[in-house]
Amino acid sequence: MEKPGGGGVLSAKEAFEKLEKVGEGTYGKVYRAREKATGKIVALKKTRLHEDEEGVPPTTLREVSILRMLSRDPHVVRLMDVKQGQNKEGKTVLYLVFEYMDTDLKKFIRSFRQTGQTVPPQTIKSLMYQLCKGVAFCHGHGILHRDLKPHNLLMDPKTMMLKIADLGLARAFTVPIKKYTHEILTLWYRAPEVLLGATHYSMAVDIWSVGCIFAELVTKQALFPGDSELQQLLHIFRLLGTPNEDVWPGVSKLMNWHEYPQWNPQSLSTAVPSLDELGLDLLSQMLKYEPSKRISAKKAMEHAYFDDLDKRHL
């Protein structure tokens, strides 16, 4: 950022022309905007500072800090700048300036659902490879995302490039974790150990989300669409079988463990019928109950499912 006091510093209002509101991030509105100096289209994510003058919220500080570290990777959305501005009431607001991406995976999948077409298998493979690569980069830098879902995966529909966004809840591995805020986060991509109240997360929570996204790309429907934490667990148990100490040592000691209806595991092919053998194998390794048995993002990139993918531009 430019030094304070320099005559060339522009406030957010002077530097950008807001074009339209395009959505809501975890804690703030997102606008499409044009940078006046260059004509470049960007995304502005607005964060209003607290009334009590406690400065920048922790989620924004973390997001900026983490994105500065991660934005070198082509599969993480690029944070270009941080700007201060004022809203109509004169309150200070902070704008995170991101590269603009035309769409997200949620809209992409919905467009196929509406036309009744399936997502082409090679497109699924390419998107999944990019997702694994971006997640591997985050994990390789000690960062958990913790909120991976189609809405947070931005896409350029012309190039089929995919980028991870919305790292406001991301954490360094070593940072203690508060329980999820129920109202904000969708449950569908949440790992079973989180739902059962584990307090020590690992990279595996993101891999579970990746697996759910993988299945959704194939079927165009959420794999586990629960509407409460209990229903979310029951959705998972109906497909993968109710876990026990044999398949998941330690599961009965988790805080939210209770007696649950007993289901036997079903084949994943019943849930994702059009996925081939290699894809089903990769998916099964992403959806292991025991977190330590789940495949890592880096190992997933090496899986045979991706062997016939041309990776030169990814």
**Nearest distance in Å: CB 304, another protein:** 18
Point out which span in 19-27, 33-41, 200-208, 228-236 binds another protein (CB under 8 A).
200-208
**Nearest distance in Å: CB 140, another protein:** 6
Q: Which residues are tagged catalytic? A: 147
Return the sign of the alpha-carbon dihedral for residues 22, 23, 27, 28: positive
User: Is there binding between residue 9 and another protein (CB under 8 A)?
Assistant: yes
144 phi-psi bin (left φ>0, alpha ψ -120 to 50, beta other): beta
Relative to beta strand 153-156, strand 103-104 is antiparallel
In what side-by-side order are the strands of the sheet with 103-104?
103-104, 153-156, 161-164
User: Is there binding between residue 164 and another protein (CB under 8 A)?
Assistant: no
| Contacting another protein within 248-307 (CB under 8 A) | 249-250, 291-294, 296, 298
Q: Print the binding letters for residues 72-111 with another protein: x by CB under 8 A, - otherwise.
A: x---------x-x-------x-x-----------------
Those residues whose C-beta lies under 8 Å from the C-beta of residue 191, and which sit 6 or more positions away, are 204, 205, 208, 209, 291
Residue that has been written with the tokens 């607001």 in this structure: 93
Point out which span in 3-11, 14-22, 156-164, 227-235 binds another protein (CB under 8 A).
3-11
Those residues whose C-beta lies under 8 Å from the C-beta of residue 215, and which sit 6 or more positions away, are 223, 271, 272, 275, 283
| Contacting another protein within 204-243 (CB under 8 A) | 204
User: Is there binding between residue 184 and another protein (CB under 8 A)?
Assistant: no
Question: Is 4 or 39 the residue whose CB approaches another protein more closely?
Answer: 4
Q: Print the binding letters for residues 129-148 with another protein: x by CB under 8 A, - otherwise.
A: ----------xxxx------
**Nearest distance in Å: CB 284, another protein:** 15
- CA angle, 20 as apex, 16 and 21 as ends, to 5°? 105
Q: Are 98 and 43 in contact (CB under 8 A)?
A: yes
**Nearest distance in Å: CB 270, another protein:** 27
**CA nearest 237: which of 285, 279, 195?**
195
Q: Which two tokens stand for residue 267?
A: 């084949």
Q: Is 220 annotated as a binding residue?
A: no
DSSP string over 26-91:
SSSEEEEEEETTT--EEEEEEEEPPTT---S-HHHHHHHHHHHHHTTSTTBPPEEEEEEEE-TTS-
Among 37, 175, 230, 309, binds another protein (CB under 8 A): 175
Among 21, 55, 107, 122, binds another protein (CB under 8 A): 55
Among 178, 184, 253, 256, binds another protein (CB under 8 A): 178
d(CA 33, CA 36): 9
Host H or E run for residue 24: strand 16-24
Question: Is 201 or 263 the residue whose CB approaches another protein more closely?
Answer: 201
Among 7, 116, 176, 261, binds another protein (CB under 8 A): 176
**Nearest distance in Å: CB 150, another protein:** 27
Point out which span in 13-21, 62-70, 155-163, 303-311 binds another protein (CB under 8 A).
62-70
Residue that has been written with the tokens 């390794």 in this structure: 285
Beta-ladder partners of 76: 164
Residues annotated as binding site? 45
What is the contact surface with another protein in residues (CB under 8 A)?
1-4, 9, 52-58, 61-62, 64-66, 68-69, 71-72, 82, 84, 92, 94, 139-142, 172-178, 200, 202, 204, 249-250, 291-294, 296, 298
